[in-house]
Chains A and B, each alone.
Chain A
Amino acid sequence: MEAAHAHAHDDHHHAPAGIGRYFTTTNHKDIGSMYMWFSLIMFFVGGFMALVIRAELFQPGIQIVNPDVFNQLTTIHALVMIFGAVMPAFVGYANWQIPLMVGASDMAFARMNNWSFWLMPPAAALLVGSFLVPGGAAGSGWTLYPPLSIQGGISVDMTILAVHIMGASSIMGSINIITTILNMRAPGMTLMRMPMFVWTWLITAYLLIAVMPVLAGAVTMLLTDRHFGTHFFNAAGGGDPTMFMHIFWFFGHPEVYIMILPAFGIISHIIPTFARKPLFGYASMVYATASIALLSFIVWGHHMFTVGMPAAGNLFFMYATMLIAVPTGVKVFNWIATLWKGSITFETPMLFAIGFVSLFTIGGFSGLVLAVTPVDITLHNTYYVVAHFHYVLFSGAIFSIMGGAYYWLPKWTGHMYDETLGKVHFWLTAISFNITFFPQHFLGLAGMPRRIPDYAPQFTEFNQISSIGAFLLGFSQLLFLYVVIKCIRGGVKAEAKAWEGAEGLEWTVPSPAPYHTFETPPAFH
């Protein structure tokens, strides 16, 4: 083993040149960067679909796409954003940051890491390419509810296959992350002294391992219903479509925490850095994260208050859901307490972090409103729900991803990004985000249903405001792309510790981080 290790070392002592290295690389930094770029590309692909949707909704009536294509766009927009943009971005962060933060030389299973990434592009090609097959892409909504997902054409099979592949990639990535965290920490770094981002990813990885196989089982049953004559969900043969909803949401609710827990981790690094104070209530943050993860397994029924569960079931899911507000509140108040009496500066990462805390809290609050069963029965499948989950996913997950990118870009590229452009990007994003999604609360309360390309004329004004905001929001993200490219190509040289208040092992290595770091475990105190 010693000899093999030394040999592997010779081959990769310096970063290999040429584009071909990316196909075979086992370096966590290369793989992390590939995940990030993949995520950014998918973000623009999914964003393009969102803009087509918003263009269609600019006026009542059917103008740009027919209702079939509209359904396909909402379906694939969601799948691309969830599985193609948000999740790979966080896995990219995990690859780049976890070895640097725990003082490991690489991920535990470097070759499997390469495989995890290279499963993603074929899956994305299946998803996006399904628009080109006869009948168009899957139009059942991202939840793939039967009977629509049983009746659809070959594109549904492509979507199911894509979900299988991405699930396999996630499980492999999670095994890698858990093993790296549990076995490869620097001496002296006990579990309760790990950086918060590492903690949130450890818990997220366990969630992924627990629920991705359940999703795989659910979509496999869809596939056998479609092609092999089984009747799991096919009512004609005694199956029950409602059962799919239960199995799907047993996966689906932990999935939404998979998309937000790593965000909590990133924010828990940015806020202490720019408040120049240690994170308030570290231990309570850890326990809050674990509580949210455990509770996420018993709240799936709140997605299905209208399917006719017994009142006792509805009440159980309502109370369990409301309980999640407690650990989430602990986290929000800890961030605010970290800011309290700090010497705060407002660089771009901090702006995104504060934007996250304010806007994610609005999304959490509308989630609490939707948790109330009788209210949800009215608001179910309206734009209120759309507004809610975009507040937690865009101003939650995506804000943290962008804030984290600005925060660690100096470490990744060795250059400081353009602070002015970064701030412009933040303000454009934050303002246009609210123009886009805040009016959707009102549309939902007034009764506008989601996933329908047409609407009653009294909804026109708010839809037009929302569409204008969406285009502003979409095109603002091109500025982000420009800032990132500009930062890679040059800029003010970043120091090893790029931010005055930054703490952690990743700031002890030079900027840009060398191709190989922590070949010998660092001292941690």
Chain B
Amino acid sequence: MNASLADRNALLARKLIIIACVMGCFGLALVPFYRQICEATGISQSRVVAQTASGSIDPTRDVTVEFVASNSNGLGWTFEALNPIVQVHPGVVTTVRYRVVNNTGRKVIAQAVPSYAPSLAAPYFKKLKCFCFDQQTFAPGEARDMQVVFVVEPDLPTDISRISLSYTFFDITAEAGGKG
């Protein structure tokens, strides 16, 4: 009786350990699953490739686009939007500029990451040209103006009249240097 209880206990414990391991794998599987969901629904924030505009223009609508600039922790330079607010008609190709001044006194390789608010506007905001597509290298003390060429698609839902686009610059000198 005792032996069989010990055996039954050990068997049940093994099953429970398997459940725990499966749930651990499930937690890790959420990573690719999450990426797929974001891609499928178009709210992915990691889209950093040039896109093309569909071409039609809707002159009856005005959309306000705000440009925000911020630096990640410890990146000692100036980063600002030179055209912080622009009014555009959906479909019109527009260019805005950002200015960076590297005050650090060392060479910095940095990557800008865009983020949209509301995020539902992201699929309708097409970037034709953007400094965020590439890693940017700045010499010590270098100042540079950089462009974003974008178009807001005319099929943007009508309840969205204002879009904020925020760029955050991350210092990736160590990692980019490490890769050679």
A interface residues (Cβ-Cβ under 8 A, vs B): 1-2, 5, 108-109, 147, 151, 171, 174-175, 178-179, 182-184, 209-218, 221, 229, 232, 235-238, 240, 242-243, 246-247, 250-251, 308, 310-311
Contact = CB atoms under 8 A, between A and B. Distances in A.
B5 A210 contact: no
16 contacts: A1-B6, A147-B73, A182-B12, A184-B5, A209-B23, A213-B21, A213-B24, A214-B30, A216-B24, A217-B27, A218-B27, A236-B172, A240-B34, A250-B30, A308-B43, A310-B120
The 8 closest A-B CB pairs, nearest first, are A236-B170, A217-B27, A213-B24, A214-B27, A308-B119, A1-B3, A213-B23, A175-B16
Q: Main secondary structure on chain B at its contact with chain A?
A: helix
Interface of B: 2-3, 5-6, 8-9, 12-13, 16-17, 19-21, 23-24, 26-28, 30-31, 34-35, 38, 41, 43, 45-46, 48, 72-73, 111, 113, 117-120, 168, 170-172, 175, 178
A240 B38 CA distance: 11
A243 B44 CA distance: 11
A109 B43 contact: no
A109 B11 CA distance: 12
A217 B21 CA distance: 11
Residue among B13, B41, B72 having the largest count of chain A Cβ atoms under 10 Å? B13
A184 B24 CA distance: 28
B168 A308 contact: no
Contact of A236 (B35, B111, B118, B178): B111
Given A183-B5, A210-B23, 11 more contacts: A178-B16, A179-B12, A209-B19, A211-B23, A213-B20, A213-B21, A217-B24, A221-B31, A237-B111, A246-B34, A247-B31
A218 B28 CA distance: 8
Given A151-B73, A183-B5, A235-B170, A246 B43 contact: no
Contacts, number: 108
A235 B20 contact: no
Contacts of A108: 9, 13
A178 B30 CA distance: 27
B14 to A, nearest CB: 9
A2 B46 contact: no
A377 to B, nearest CB: 12
Contacts of B28: 217, 221
A151 B38 CA distance: 25
Nearest to A231: B175
Contact of A179 (B9, B19, B30, B41): B9
A247 B119 CA distance: 19
B26 to A, nearest CB: 7
A182 B5 CA distance: 11
Contacts of B12: 178-179, 182-183
A135 to B, nearest CB: 13
Residue among B31, B170, B172 having the largest count of chain A Cβ atoms under 10 Å? B31
B72 A236 contact: yes
A465 B170 CA distance: 44
Contacts of A151: 73
A247 B37 CA distance: 14
A410 B119 CA distance: 58
Contacts of A237: 111, 172, 175
Contacts of A213: 20-21, 23-24, 26-27
Contacts of A243: 30-31, 34-35
B72 A147 contact: yes
Contacts of B20: 171, 175, 209, 212-213
A218 B72 CA distance: 22
Contact of A214 (B6, B24, B111, B119): B24
B164 to A, nearest CB: 11
B16 A246 contact: no
A239 to B, nearest CB: 8
B23 A175 contact: no
A357 to B, nearest CB: 33
A210 to B, nearest CB: 5
A175 B16 CA distance: 6
A155 B37 CA distance: 34
Contact of B13 (A147, A175, A218, A242): A175
A258 B9 CA distance: 24
Contacts of B27: 213-218, 247, 250-251
A207 to B, nearest CB: 11
Nearest to B6: A1
A243 B117 CA distance: 17
Residue among B12, B38, B117 having the largest count of chain A Cβ atoms under 10 Å? B12
